[in-house]
Structure 1
Amino acid sequence: MAQALDRAIDYVFSQYRHLSDAPTPMPDILTANRLSDGDVVYRTAPGDWVADVDAAELIDGAARLAVAEAAAQADVKAAKVLDVATIAVEVTDGHIVPKRLRERIRAFGPTVKSDHRPGAI
């Protein structure tokens, strides 16, 4: 009886490990540049464009992404934003972090110290 219980426990743990190894899809967000000033902006769930990446709508699934992209393209036609792009992100410690370095730089600023930036005193 103890061996049967041990086998059952081993089976359950092996199935659990199998499930935890399955990749979870990364959410996406939409980014663009605001046409009025060129700032990097992110699309929120209500459809606004804001500079704070943490306010961006996390989009999971192709159907939801298609709906959000269509709405974003309407904002392009309305001359609100341009260069709409979908970017993969992950949520780390409650903050949205783009996966690609280029997008992290766009979200969080230059990779050099502030005293090395042009115009620094």
Structure 2
Amino acid sequence: MTSPLEQKKIKIAGPSVVTANRTWDGIVVYRTAAKSWSADLSEAAIVRNSDEAKTLLAESVADDVGAVGAYIAPVQVGADGKIEPGNLREQIRRTGVTIGQSAQA
């Protein structure tokens, strides 16, 4: 039987990372080149083609003890090498809730 990762066609259009949520506290984490998880986006392994993305995602999904819900997310890499989220969803995940504290009460 073929795994869901092998069936899924992954297309990326530019630099991307694998992101997930850490299992014990839910914080957003990124897969590193050292095959660990970091809450610091600057430590994320960057992939630039579908084959690299599939490999990194498969390794990340297999590590379901450290993080869950792994997927590929776009990033932007500045001329200075600084990595920033590549879309609004990832900007929101990185910074947290989008409503004021008074609205939660």
1:117 is displaced (CA, Å) by: 3.3
Change (3 A) 1:111 1:91: farther
1:52-71 matches, cutoff 5 A: 52-71=40-59
CA distance in 1, matches of 2:17, 2:97: 21
After the TM superposition, which parts of structure 1 deviate over 6 Å for at least 4 consecutive aligned residues?
A: none
Out of 81, 87, 112, the residue aligned to residue 67 of structure 2 is 81
1:50 is displaced (CA, Å) by: 0.5
1:94 is displaced (CA, Å) by: 2.4
Out of 18, 39, 45, the residue aligned to residue 30 of structure 1 is 18
> Within the alignment, does 1:104 sit opposite 2:91 as a pair?
yes
CA distance in 2, matches of 1:111, 1:84: 22
Identity %: 37
1:39 is displaced (CA, Å) by: 0.7
Question: 1:117 is matched with which residue?
Answer: 101
CA distance in 2, matches of 1:85, 1:44: 14
Greater relative contact order (CA < 8 Å, ≥ 6 in sequence): 2
Structure 1 stretches lacking a partner, 5+ long: 1-24
Point out the structure with max Rg over C-alpha.
Answer: 1
Q: Which amino acid is 1:74 matched to?
A: A
| Cα deviation code 1:63-110 (max 9, x no counterpart) | 11111011011102xx22111111011112421111211101222345
1:111 is displaced (CA, Å) by: 5.2
Q: What is the Cα-based RMSD across aligned positions, in Å?
A: 1.7
- Choose between structure 1 and 2: higher helix proportion: 1
Work out the number of aligned pairs and report it: 89
